[in-house]
Structure formats: structure tokens, C-alpha cells
Amino acid sequence: MRPAIIFGTRPEIIKLSPVIRAFLNKGIQPMLIHTGQHYDYEMSQVFLEELELPEIDYHLEVGSGTQAEQTGFAMIKIEKVLINEKPDVSIVQGDTNTVLAGALASVKLLIPVAHVEAGLRSHDRTMPEEINRILADHASEVLFAPTLEAKENLEREGIRRNVYVVGNTIVDAVLQNSEIAEKKSKILSELNLSPKEYILVTAHRKENVDNRDRLTKLVDILTSLPLTTVYPVHPRAEKKLKEFGLWKRLEKAEHIILTKPLGYLDFLKLEKNAKIIMTDSGGIQEEAIILGIPCLTLRYNTERPETVKAGGNILVGVEEELALMYVRKLLEDEKFYQKMASARNPFGDGKAGERIVNILLALWEEGKLKVPS
């Protein structure tokens, strides 16, 4: 079997690394197509290096743009590669513009699409990610749902073909890199941090950072936090914080440490040792519950409701009073803290990558890995 793996952003590299490894363990060299949606060293190359991934076969250098520009350029460039290479399956992961472009370009060439992390729904169609997930799922032939809830979302939309609940590959990535991070990363001493004495924050979502009022409210929360706060800033957020004149407020706050986006090993180490995680990231909501760190999500909805149901994650939006109330409760009420920290991880056992590859190979051997005519 000749699989093509199409990706372009930080979370896709991290979450597809276990799938790539599982293919390599079977002696199969997947074709790696990087759209270049993320291109800064610290948003892309650092992960390829740290996760020891093989050479990329095609760098498409799509870069940034409007939603349509980015998706359209990616589709045009992916199509050219697929026409030449004719892979047996295209594998995409998640909900970025790269995923939509990869899925659409492939299915229209009658190349079956396998979607890793299928079936997530925030039920908020104002998010570009929600549109991407829905369309990618409907274009896909094989759907790897991380949880039963995700499978049920697909069923509700009438998608019943080749749906497998396999867990989320983020568990594989965390387990595969946790000890390495523990040994190699020096980030705590570099930032002068003590374990369990800081809050780790990330925020980069379009709906939070592109809107001046929302971003101001977010900065209000961060500047009021009662503990040392580390915020590795995504380039989109940095641009908007500067544009709206909010960057200086963060810089001036003595308890806030701003950093560039960090490599995976440093970031994992920061997550593991954080007292609390506050984020609007999808992957970080997952990692928090896997690592047993209470998570306050800076959003009003989530496509990871399993984390909330399990008790490890609370949606606080950008509501200052609510967010600070939960931060204080976590810092002062040990029983409440332990309850959140001991929430059960709903994303599986860390063997999702292996399962995905085994299922794809079995479908291939049975001649079932094709787009029905």
C-alpha cells in the first residue's frame, strides 16, 4: 500500500507522528506532503526534528492567506502531487484548512480519504474548523473517531461507512514523548519556574484573538491571575495583541512570562508541571486531561465535550469573574483540585496510531480501500 499523509500545521504534525511511526514499524514509507500552512521554524520544523520524522517528500509552501486563498492554493498544489503520485489513500488529521484541501483534492481524484480524529463537533458553524471537520468527514471513506461520542456525531449525520473508534493519537504522542521531555527539556530552569507554581496559558483561536473585545477580555483575565503565568504566544495571537495595543499590557504584568511558541518537549514539560492549564486549543484540552492537569477552557463551546463530562475541563469563555472564581477555587480547595486532576482520560490507551495503520492495511488487503463507483 502507498499511503499519502497530508498535513500542514503544528497539531497535525504532532498527532500524525504516531501514525507515521506505525507505518514505518510495518516497513511502509508513507509519502509526506506538507502544505506549509505553518512555516515558522517554531510552528513546524521544530516538531519534525523533535519527533524524528522522515524527510518530507513535498513542501508545498502554501503559507498564510484568507480562508479561501489558503484552502484554494493548498488544493491546487495537493492535486498536482496526487495526480503524479497516485497514492492508494490520503490520510488527513483534524480540522484545519489543510485537512479540507487534502480531503477535497483527493476525493475528487477518486483517491479514498482516511480522516483521523473524525466526528468532532462543536455545533458552532461560525468556526472555520467546524466547517472543515464536517466537510472532511463527508468526503472521507474511512473515519477514525477518537471516542464513541464522535462516532455518534457521524451517525447523526448519516455517516456509517468504515467508522472505527480508535482513541486519539494525541495519547500516543504524549506517551511516546513524555519521558523524553522529562529528561531533555530544561524549560523550567530556563524560565525560572517551580513545578505546580504556575498557570500555563495558550490562546490563538480566531474567535478569541481576531475580535478586539474578546481579546481585551482575555487580557483582562490574564493580567488578573493570582499566580505566575506562562504564555507561549502563537503568531496569530501575537499579531493581533500588537495590532489592538494589548501586547504591552501583558509585557508589563509582572506575573506574566511571554515566550515564543515552544517545541513539543518543552511544552509537554510545562504542561506536566503546571498547576492549572488555561487554553482555547483543542489538543491542549486533550493533553491536560491525559496528564491530569485541571483545564479551564477559554471558549464557550468545545468539540471535546468528553473532557467536560469526565470532570477535567470547565468552559469559562472569556468571562473574567467566572474564570477567576475557578482559578481561586483550584488554588484554595484541594478536594476540588484533586477531583478535576483525577478525571478519567476519555481518549484511549495510546495505541491509536497502530490501530489506524492495521485497519487501513486490512481494508487494503481485502480490496475495500477504494471510493465506491
Q: Give the footprint of ligand UD1 on this chain (CB under 6 A).
A: 9-11, 37-40, 43, 64, 70, 95-97, 128-129, 204, 234-236, 239
Nearer to ligand UDP, 298 or 360 (CB): 298
Which among ligand UDP, ligand UD1, none contacts residue 264 (Cβ within 5 to 8 A by kind)?
A: ligand UDP
| Rounded to 5°, angle at Cα 300 from 125 and 243 | 85
Sheet with 58-59, strands from edge to edge, namely 58-59, 31-34, 3-7, 89-93, 113-116, 142-145, 163-165
Tell the smallest beta-carbon distance from residue 302 to ligand UD1 (Å): 13
Least distance (Å) between residue 354 CB and ligand UD1: 25
56-62 contacts at long range (C-beta below 8 A, 24 or more positions apart): 56/32, 57/31, 57/32, 57/33, 58/31, 58/32, 58/33, 58/34, 59/34, 60/8, 60/33, 60/34, 60/35, 60/36, 61/36, 62/8, 62/35, 62/36, 62/37, 62/98
Choose between 106 and 132: whose C-beta lies nearer to ligand UDP. Answer: 132
User: Choosing among ligand UDP, ligand UD1, none, which partner's interface includes residue 121 (Cβ < 5 to 8 Å by kind)?
Assistant: none
State the catalytic residue, choosing from 34, 115, 204, 234: 204
Indicate the residue among 96 and 153 with the shorter CB distance to ligand UD1. 96
Annotation says 123 is catalytic: no
Min CB(123)–ligand UD1 separation in Å: 16
CA distance 117 to 324: 32
Compute the least distance from the CB of residue 160 to ligand UD1, in Å. 27
Q: Given the rule CB under 6 A, which residues bind ligand UDP?
A: 10-11, 14, 202, 232, 261-262, 264, 267, 281-284, 287
The closest of 19, 120, 4 to 351, measured between CA atoms, is 19
Q: Give 64 or 342: the residue with its C-beta nearer to ligand UD1.
A: 64
Contact present, 50 and 265 (Cβ < 8 Å): yes
The CB-of-271 to ligand UDP minimum distance in angstroms stands at 7
Residue 151's alpha-carbon distances to 96, 117, 121, 165, 323, in angstroms, are 20, 10, 11, 7, 31
CA distance 241 to 70: 23
DSSP symbol at 366 = T
Q: Which is nearer to ligand UDP, 260 or 370 (by Cβ)? A: 260
235 binds, among ligand UD1, ligand UDP, none (CB under 5 to 8 A by kind): ligand UD1
Residues annotated catalytic, as ranges: 204
